[in-house]
Amino acid sequence: MVIEGLTPFLIVRLLGKADVGAISGLILIYTTMAVVLGGGLPRSILYYLSGRTLDQRWAIVLRLIKATFVLSVITGLILLGVGLWGEQVLKALGEWFVSLTGGGDGQQGERMDLVYLQLFAIYPLIDMPVRLLPHIMVGELRPRAAAAVNAFRSFGMSFGQLLPAALGWGLWGIVGGLLTFGVLNLFLFIWLLRQQYGKATRGTIEQSGWEMVCFSFPLGLTDVVGRLNSYLDRYLILLLMTSAAFAEYVQGAWQIPLITTVAYSVGDVYMSRFVELFKAGKPEEAIAIWRTSIQKVSLIVIPVAMIFIVAAEEFIILAFTEDYLAAAPVFRLYCCLLLGRVTSYGSVIVATGKPQYVLRAAAWTLGSNLVLSVPLVLWLGFIGPALGTALAFIPTVIIYCLYIARASGLRLSQTFPLFAWGKVVLVAAIPALLALWPKYTLDLPPAGAMAVEALIVVLGFALLGTLTGQIKREDWRFVYRWVRLKTI
């Protein structure tokens, strides 16, 4: 996460906006294709390897690799097609967009150049099969190897972009750097497989590669829908605006890594407890724990989100330079969206034993995002997709809570603690409003202004939260123990 989070901060200082937009678009298109066509094959490995002999596991891994390679060829051909004819499609869409909106600043300039996809089309062939490796290592009870593989991939993807950019080799050099890393990663893949299955002989299994793909795709369908939903706003900008506008939007859509994972980490921690309670016929107790966890996570996530909502301009200048100041409204809207990311909604549904509800909720979420974002991009232009994404989170929460209520047999009002969450937002909003005074009255450099604004929000939230009872004495005791690394 650290490596991937730092890469955008560095790449914007090495490349021009058009090049940043081009490489961001290239990676966006490939990542989407890999998820859509890869389906749930990586996750299905854990299912297939369970309870098998070494020879059978090796046979399963070989068939999954062959199936993934076929899918990677399809992905590569699609990327090649986009690289050959995508520019004409973008031009036609741009002209249509201008005719609808009457033009605008976001539509003037150089369009996204997709010619680099013609070479990058090779990348899926050496990358998509390797994506199976971490799951294979977990299935073979080698979590350290799985962790090392993921870390190496993150480092390699970043280094493959940054080194050619720093050497001034341009986008063709960056594509070459990514391909070079892909080859190295492929050799690591082969070496680890030989190390793990070197003594295995070809075992017999009943499933064909096609049957594995058919079985695995529904497992990954929720991921596919979720990925399309999270990338929808970027695709609207990619299709309808210039490369420079896309570069600005992507940096504005950067999300604070640590904060975005807090809620999901808490959901993982409580998952087994939720499953036990739902199986025991105690949904009220499970939901009560979930509601309490939301209130506690809110005490962390909401004030931090408020800091960045206030200091959006200062953060964008510090992180991405003044050239990307136009991204500040997008970043602010994404931080507003963070206010609601105080829990893992899907994990509660899965714990009830009805995972099909997660897919349905995700599909409804994608639909609501489309309904809001498409008209807004036509009306407001550059900022429209970000506003649509932020507004779409409201029906998203309602939809997930409806399915949580249905799965648990409780009322909708018994799910998300809206009143308690709202009080935390209010307590954090007051010092955030106060922080606007130094922002617009004091002539401070970006770093100094952001530090002052953050101090006002944190101290104000701590004081008001304590006085109003939102932050309890037990919470302060926990903070004290946590600082001393004695949380248990």
Q: CA angle, corner 53, sides to 52 and 55, nearest 5?
A: 120
pTM over 0.85: yes
- Is 343 within a domain? yes
All residues at 6 or more sequence positions from 448 whose CB lies less than 8 Å from its CB, including other chains? none
- Residue from 115, 144, 127 nearest 26 by CA: 115
Instruction: Tell me, yes or no, whether 218 and 272 share the same domain.
Output: no
| Domain edge (last residue) among 212, 227, 242 | 227
- Is 302 within a domain? yes
Instruction: Tell me, yes or no, whether 294 and 351 share the same domain.
Output: yes
Instruction: Tell me, yes or no, whether 378 and 286 share the same domain.
Output: yes
pLDDT in tens, 239-272: 888 889 999 999 999 888 777 778 877 877 788 8
- Is 234 within a domain? no
The pLDDT assigned to 108 comes to 52
CB 107 within 8 A of CB 242: yes
CB 169 within 8 A of CB 182: no
- Is 249 within a domain? no
- d(C-alpha 95, C-alpha 101), whole Å: 10
Torsion of CA 72, 53, 275, 411, to 10 degrees: 40
Q: Which residue has the tokens 């004495």?
A: 473
- d(C-alpha 87, C-alpha 112), whole Å: 7
- pLDDT truncated to tens, each residue of the chain (488 aa)? 677 778 888 999 999 998 999 899 999 999 888 888 876 777 777 777 777 888 888 888 888 898 899 999 999 999 999 888 877 777 776 667 656 655 444 455 566 778 899 999 999 999 999 999 988 998 888 888 888 888 898 899 999 999 999 999 999 999 999 999 999 999 999 999 999 998 888 666 666 666 777 766 766 777 788 888 889 999 989 888 888 999 999 999 988 877 777 887 787 778 888 889 998 999 999 999 999 999 999 999 999 999 999 999 999 999 999 999 999 999 999 999 999 999 988 888 888 888 788 888 989 999 999 999 989 988 888 999 999 999 999 999 999 999 999 999 999 999 999 999 999 999 999 999 999 999 999 999 999 999 999 999 999 999 999 999 999 999 898 888 877 766 55
- d(C-alpha 348, C-alpha 405), whole Å: 10
The pLDDT assigned to 138 comes to 84
- Is 376 within a domain? yes
pLDDT in tens, 128-176: 999 999 889 988 888 888 888 888 988 999 999 999 999 999 999 999 9
What are the angstrom distances between the C-alpha of 57 and each of 140, 188, 202?
9, 19, 9
Instruction: Tell me, yes or no, whether 161 and 273 share the same domain.
Output: no
Residues in the chain: 488
Q: Which two tokens stand for residue 148?
A: 């090392």
All residues at 6 or more sequence positions from 387 whose CB lies less than 8 Å from its CB, including other chains? 333, 376, 380
The pLDDT assigned to 344 comes to 86
- Is 235 within a domain? no
Cα–chain center distance at 171 = 24
Instruction: Tell me, yes or no, whether 263 and 223 share the same domain.
Output: no
Instruction: Tell me, yes or no, whether 279 and 219 share the same domain.
Output: no
In three-state secondary structure terms, 121 is coil
Per DSSP, helices labelled H in 102-142 are 117-120, 123-127, 133-139
- d(C-alpha 238, C-alpha 21), whole Å: 9
- d(C-alpha 212, C-alpha 76), whole Å: 21
| Domain edge (last residue) among 227, 242, 274 | 227
- Residue from 335, 186, 159 nearest 259 by CA: 335
SS (H, E, C) 91-108: HHHHHHHHHHHCCCHHHC
Q: What is the DSSP string of 439-481?
A: HHHS---HHHHHHHHHHHHHHHHHHHHHHHTSS-HHHHHHHHH
- Residue from 51, 14, 331 nearest 169 by CA: 14
Instruction: Tell me, yes or no, whether 185 and 280 share the same domain.
Output: no
Task: Count CB-CB contacts under 10 A for residue 423.
Answer: 17
What are the angstrom distances between the C-alpha of 167 and each of 12, 119, 160, 327, 365?
14, 20, 12, 27, 43
- d(C-alpha 463, C-alpha 454), whole Å: 14
DSSP-derived letter for residue 374 is H
The pLDDT assigned to 284 comes to 94
Instruction: Tell me, yes or no, whether 93 and 159 share the same domain.
Output: yes
DSSP-derived letter for residue 112 is P
Instruction: Tell me, yes or no, whether 109 and 181 share the same domain.
Output: yes
Instruction: Tell me, yes or no, whether 214 and 140 share the same domain.
Output: yes
What is the domain extent for residue 270?
256-483
How many separate domains does the chain show?
2
All residues at 6 or more sequence positions from 118 whose CB lies less than 8 Å from its CB, including other chains? 80, 83, 84
CB 101 within 8 A of CB 381: yes
- Residue from 120, 191, 113, 103 nearest 152 by CA: 191
Q: Which residues of 148-176 are buried (b: 16+ CB within 10 A; e: fewer)?
A: ebeeebbebbbbbbbbbbeeeebbebbbb
The pLDDT assigned to 60 comes to 87
What are the angstrom distances between the C-alpha of 88 and each of 13, 83, 113, 114, 206?
30, 10, 10, 10, 47
- Is 89 within a domain? yes
- d(C-alpha 308, C-alpha 336), whole Å: 9
Instruction: Tell me, yes or no, whether 220 and 316 share the same domain.
Output: no
- d(C-alpha 224, C-alpha 58), whole Å: 28
| Domain edge (last residue) among 181, 208, 227 | 227
- d(C-alpha 386, C-alpha 245), whole Å: 13
The pLDDT assigned to 50 comes to 73
Instruction: Tell me, yes or no, whether 20 and 151 share the same domain.
Output: yes
- Is 203 within a domain? yes
